Structure 1
Amino acid sequence: MKAIIVSDSHGLTDELAQIAARHRHEADMFIHCGDSELAAEAEEIAPFAVVRGNCDWAAFPNERMVEAAGIRFLITHGHLYGVKTSLSRLSDRAEEAGADVICFGHSHLAGVEKMGGRLFINPGSIALPRGRTEKTYAVLSIDGGRAHVQFYDVSGRPIAEMERTVSLERT
């Protein structure tokens, strides 16, 4: 199973279309963690399971639960869970929802963390990154209980030092 995860595109359309086209033959799922600032009918957002961010005005849901290959995904922007200061509220929500993988944005800080037996992924921002100069998105590959997360810059180059592989087993 392979998921392409983006967030915080803040009105960009060409970049979303390029990412979707680049990965269209390999991805099982496209996720947008909010702040697209696009209309729900926008062609560029069509391939993505989208949630509403604090800068969105379209009627996207605040969160989504999606299941793929037996993995439960919680997708949210993060602003309703205070992710800029702590992941604790989001972790509580993930536990309540029975999520295995949590995809979120809001902080514009790319990263991956395993916490409480769950995998948290923030793809960063393809528009306004923080903490790094690269405008980033993430590709999550899951095979045999192992998750591999590779971050890419918006042009499709992998960022080697951000690559991470973890077990999805709960400890």
Structure 2
Amino acid sequence: MKIGLISDTHGYINYINKAMEKLNNTDMIIHLGDNVKDVKYIKLKYKNKIINVKGNCDITCTVASEKIEIIENKRFLITHGHKYNVKRDLLNLKYKAVECRADIVLFGHTHVADITYENGIWFINPGSASLPRNRINTVAVLELNDNKINSYIIDI
């Protein structure tokens, strides 16, 4: 299974379209918050199966701020990350990952792409598709094949 990861789109349709061009051959999209309205656009235009959570800018939204999902026998913690102070460090998020027995943690909020593997847990942040802090607009792809995990960042 190939999963496209996108975060922090903030309503910039032109960047969403560029991101989705890079993710068009994925089996599923996971949107990690900021802006939930963008998820509706992605669903309508691209017809991908999509899982999403809300971010700190999605104040009035009723979507959950985090989810636990089982995908291909892997336990995912899916969150925007702001409630775990991920702009400072990943310590709180790591504690949460251990607490919920996550194999893979997906988060955004920092607007900087990063993939870290620590103590048997993958922490994947696709960065920001529209407002990157390091001037590189990014998304990520996560591949799950026969219990093997491969993840990589794509510049858009």
TM-score range, shorter chain: 0.7 to 0.9
Of residues 90, 94, 105, the one that matches 1:91 is 94
The yes-or-no answer on 1:149 pairing with 2:120 is no
Structure 1 residues 37, 29: CA separation in 2 closer, same or farther (over 3 Å shift)? closer
Structure 1 residues 39, 16: CA separation in 2 closer, same or farther (over 3 Å shift)? closer
The yes-or-no answer on 1:116 pairing with 2:119 is yes
- What's the TM-score, normalizing by structure 1? 0.79
Partner of 2:35: 36
- Where do 1:32-111 residues align within 5 Å? 32-36=31-35, 38=37, 42-45=40-43, 47=48, 48-57=50-59, 58-111=61-114
Contact kept? 1:64, 1:75, Cα under 8 Å: yes
Contact kept? 1:38, 1:45, Cα under 8 Å: no
Contact kept? 2:138, 2:153, Cα under 8 Å: yes
Structure 1 residues 56, 2: CA separation in 2 closer, same or farther (over 3 Å shift)? same
Q: State the superposition RMSD in angstroms.
A: 2.0
5+ long unaligned stretches in structure 1: 155-171
Aligned length: 151
Opposite residue 16 of structure 2, the aligned amino acid is: L
Q: C-alpha displacement at 1:86, in angstroms?
A: 1.4
5+ long unaligned stretches in structure 2: none
Q: 3-state SS of the aligned residue for 1:5?
A: strand
Opposite residue 2 of structure 2, the aligned amino acid is: K
Partner of 1:3: 3
Structure 1 residues 32, 87: CA separation in 2 closer, same or farther (over 3 Å shift)? same
**Aligned residues: percent identity?**
36
Q: C-alpha displacement at 1:14, in angstroms?
A: 4.2
**Distance in 2 of aligned mates of 1:81 and 1:45:** 28
Structure 1 residues 68, 142: CA separation in 2 closer, same or farther (over 3 Å shift)? same
Opposite residue 34 of structure 1, the aligned amino acid is: G
In proportion to residue count, which structure has more helix?
A: 2
**Distance in 1 of aligned mates of 2:138 and 2:102:** 24
Q: 3-state SS of the aligned residue for 1:38?
A: helix
**Distance in 2 of aligned mates of 1:50 and 1:153:** 21
Q: C-alpha displacement at 1:151, in angstroms?
A: 1.3
**Distance in 2 of aligned mates of 1:17 and 1:59:** 25
RCO greater where, 1 or 2, for CA within 8 Å and sep 6 or more?
2
- What's the TM-score, normalizing by structure 2? 0.86
Q: 3-state SS of the aligned residue for 2:131?
A: coil
